[in-house]
Amino acid sequence: MLQLNFIRENKDTVLAGLGKRYFANAETVVDNVLTLDQKRRDTQKDLDDVLAQSNAKASQIGALMKSGDKAAAEAAKAETAELKARSKDLAEALRQVEVELQAVLVTIPNIPHSSVPPGRTADDNEVMLEHGDKPTLHDAAQPHWELIKKYDIIDFELGVKITGAGFPVYKGKGARIQRAMINFFLDEALKAGYVEVQPPILVNEDSGFGTGQLPDKEGQMYFATEDKLYLIPTAEVPITNIYRDVILTENQLPVKNVGYTPCFRREAGSWGAHVRGLNRLHQFDKVEIVRIEKPENSYAALEEMSLHVQSLLQKLELPYRVLRLCGGDMGFTSALTYDMEVWSAAQQRWLEVSSVSNFETYQANRLKLRSKLEGKMQLMHTLNGSALALPRILASILENNQTPEGIKIPKVLVPYCGFEVID
């Protein structure tokens, strides 16, 4: 959530940033915020004045009674009662305007970083680099949804029987390579200085609000109605919320956490090869890295996170590219996002496997996540990234490494899974 003082002092910057996002009715919304903010401040001043008058009158009553001036004392009591009633009305008016102001503030997305390119859709994202050679497959090569049936390693029909579409069952070597990737990604993060946590996979409404999933994305999350808990769409939510309402000391910074969780997304289904097989699931596994940084260090941290994800892709020997997302394609809470995509040789297309983002103070303002630096309380910057999401990584491994004799496992995963080929 944007800070009120930032909007108040930087209206033109806010409007320019919202324009880069193609945010509808930006000027009307910002003017509404500023009007409500002024009303809030005026009401707060009136309330403070009335409370000060009430306290002053209350302090006079005892002296008037002691001096024997009962008439004046009774008059002061009456005035005090009127002031208390007025203060009650003003307090309620202040509460109402704060609720109205909050309801508008949460609809405003984060302001893009100056480096974010203009553009409305994914077609306008900036390709920053490509790495690796795209493999040439043999004539009988197949997409991964055919390979998993051929080698009997993932069963989508069984998942439909147990749960529904988008909930696959991994079997045999399919299950073992899943576990291998999870352990590999976690171990690589630990080597990079991240501290592992294992968070809950259900969160409450406060947690969803803290990281920006609520009220923006409630339709994309599974909701346990009886207990009013949400299944997490990503480990970003519970891990970042560890630090909700926390004041970090300077020697605790930076915070670097990593965690593995299953993730759940209700995303509306669509038809076509781009969502077949492992390309889009309702349940999938992911290793997430989360960082909390001093504001002056956060963009260097973002570059470091990008390089960490790239190192994983290099070790898996997967050709990939890095995109800088345009204003119209960025997530609601992000100030700058890099997407990493791997090449799927059988599908002849790029598949997104990771996003790393800097949210600056947007999440921290919701979370009330602060630190006292140089004697001043400051909001911290939060960052996170997929390192990595498993389904499309597995799809690319299966497709890119297929041979007539079987599917070769990347060398780095062999010690984790215990086999070199799926045959």
The answer on whether 265 is annotated among ligand-binding residues is yes
| Distance between CA atoms of residues 101 and 2, nearest Å | 12
The answer on whether 92 is annotated among ligand-binding residues is no
The answer on whether 59 is annotated among ligand-binding residues is no
The answer on whether 352 is annotated among ligand-binding residues is yes
- Which DSSP string do the residues of 260-321 spell out, in sequence order? EEEEE-------SGGGSGGGS-SEEEEEEEEEEE-GGGHHHHHHHHHHHHHHHHHHTT--EE
Residues 282 and 267: beta-carbon distance below 8 Å = yes
Residues in the chain: 423
The answer on whether 309 is annotated among ligand-binding residues is no
The answer on whether 401 is annotated among ligand-binding residues is no
Four-CA torsion 153, 159, 160, 166, nearest 10 degrees: -90
The answer on whether 234 is annotated among ligand-binding residues is yes
Residue partners of 270: CB distance under 8 A and separation at least 6: none
The answer on whether 288 is annotated among ligand-binding residues is yes
* Helix (H), strand (E) counts: the chain: 13, 19
| Structure tokens that stand for 358 in this block | 């800097």
Residues 238 and 382: beta-carbon distance below 8 Å = no
The answer on whether 176 is annotated among ligand-binding residues is no
The answer on whether 21 is annotated among ligand-binding residues is no
Q: Is it true that the peptide bond before 215 is cis, omega within 30 degrees of 0?
A: yes
Annotated binding site: 234, 265-267, 288, 352-355, 384
Annotated binding site for L-serine: 234, 265, 288, 384
Annotated binding site for ATP: 265-267, 352-355
